Chains A and B, each alone.
Chain A
Amino acid sequence: MKHPIYTTFGALLVVLLVVAEVRGWTPMRPTEVKNIPRSIRDNPGAYRPHYRTFFGSGHYMRGK
Chain B
Amino acid sequence: MSAPAVASLTCPQCGSAIELRTLDQALSVVCASCGSILDARDPNLHVLQEFKARQKFTPQIPLGTRGTLKGEKWEVVGYQVRGATIDGATYYWEEYLLFNPYKGFRYLTQYDGHWNDVQVLKAAPDETMSGGRPVVTLHGETFKHFQTATAETYFVLGEFPWQVRVGDRATASDFVAPPRMLSKEKTDEETTWSLGTYTPAAQIWSAFGLPGEPPHARGVYANQPDEFVSRAGSMAKRYLLFVAVIAAIVFIRLVTASRETVFATNAQFFRPGAPADSLAFVTPSFTLRGRTTDLEVTTEAQVDNGWAYFEYALVNEQTGTTYEFGREVSYYYGRDEDGNWSEGSRRDHALLPSVPAGQYFLRVAPEAQVPTPFLEYRIVVRRDVPTYTPYLIALALLALPPILVGLRAWGMESARWKESDYSSSGGDDDDDDE
A-side residues, CB < 8 A to B, are 2-3, 6-7, 9-10, 13-14, 16-18, 20-38, 40-41, 44-47, 49-51, 53, 59-60, 62-64
Q: Would you call A62 and B307 a contact (CB within 8 A)?
A: yes
Instruction: Please provide the chain B residues from 337 to 390 with a CB less than 8 Å away from any CB of chain A in the complex.
Output: 350-355, 361, 363-365, 367, 369, 384, 387, 389-390
Selected contact of B398 from candidates A13, A29, A31, A40, CB within 8 Å: A13
With A24-B294, A32-B322, A46-B277 as given contacts, are A13 and B397 in contact (CB-CB < 8 Å)? yes
Q: How far is the CA of A45 from the CA of B351 in the complex (A)?
A: 24
Q: Would you call B249 and A44 a contact (CB within 8 A)?
A: no
Chain A neighbourhood of B387, CB < 8 A = 26
Q: Would you call B282 and A28 a contact (CB within 8 A)?
A: no
Q: Would you call A40 and B315 a contact (CB within 8 A)?
A: yes
Q: Would you call B282 and A44 a contact (CB within 8 A)?
A: yes
With A23-B292, A53-B311, A64-B332 as given contacts, are A17 and B390 in contact (CB-CB < 8 Å)? yes
Q: Would you call A32 and B323 a contact (CB within 8 A)?
A: yes
With A31-B324, A38-B320 as given contacts, are A2 and B332 in contact (CB-CB < 8 Å)? no
Q: Does B325 contact A (CB under 8 A)?
A: yes
CB nearest neighbor in B for A37:
B320
Selected contact of A44 from candidates B245, B307, B330, B365, CB within 8 Å: B365
With A13-B398, A24-B355, A60-B309 as given contacts, are A33 and B238 in contact (CB-CB < 8 Å)? no
Q: How far is the CA of A16 from the CA of B398 in the complex (A)?
A: 13
Chain A neighbourhood of B4, CB < 8 A = none
Chain A neighbourhood of B249, CB < 8 A = 14, 17-18, 21
Q: Smallest distance from the beta carbon of A53 to chain B beta carbons, Å?
A: 5
Q: Would you call B320 and A34 a contact (CB within 8 A)?
A: yes
CB nearest neighbor in B for A43:
B280
Q: Does B48 contact A (CB under 8 A)?
A: no
B-side residues, CB < 8 A to A, are 231, 234-235, 238-239, 242, 245-246, 249, 253, 275-282, 291-295, 305-307, 309, 311, 313-315, 319-326, 328, 330, 332, 350-355, 361, 363-365, 367, 369, 384, 387, 389-391, 393-394, 397-398, 401
Given contacts A17-B394, A51-B325, 4 further A-B contacts (CB under 8 A): A13-B242, A22-B291, A34-B321, A60-B309
Chain B neighbourhood of A20, CB < 8 A = 390
Q: Would you call A32 and B325 a contact (CB within 8 A)?
A: no
Q: How far is the CA of A34 from the CA of B355 in the complex (A)?
A: 14
Q: How far is the CA of A26 from the CA of B387 in the complex (A)?
A: 8
Selected contact of A27 from candidates B321, B326, B390, CB within 8 Å: B390
Chain B neighbourhood of A59, CB < 8 A = 275-276, 367
Q: Would you call B321 and A13 a contact (CB within 8 A)?
A: no
CB nearest neighbor in A for B402:
A6
Q: Smallest distance from the beta carbon of B109 to chain A beta carbons, Å?
A: 32
Chain B neighbourhood of A62, CB < 8 A = 307, 309, 328, 330, 369
Q: Would you call B353 and A24 a contact (CB within 8 A)?
A: yes
Q: How far is the CA of A31 from the CA of B6 in the complex (A)?
A: 89
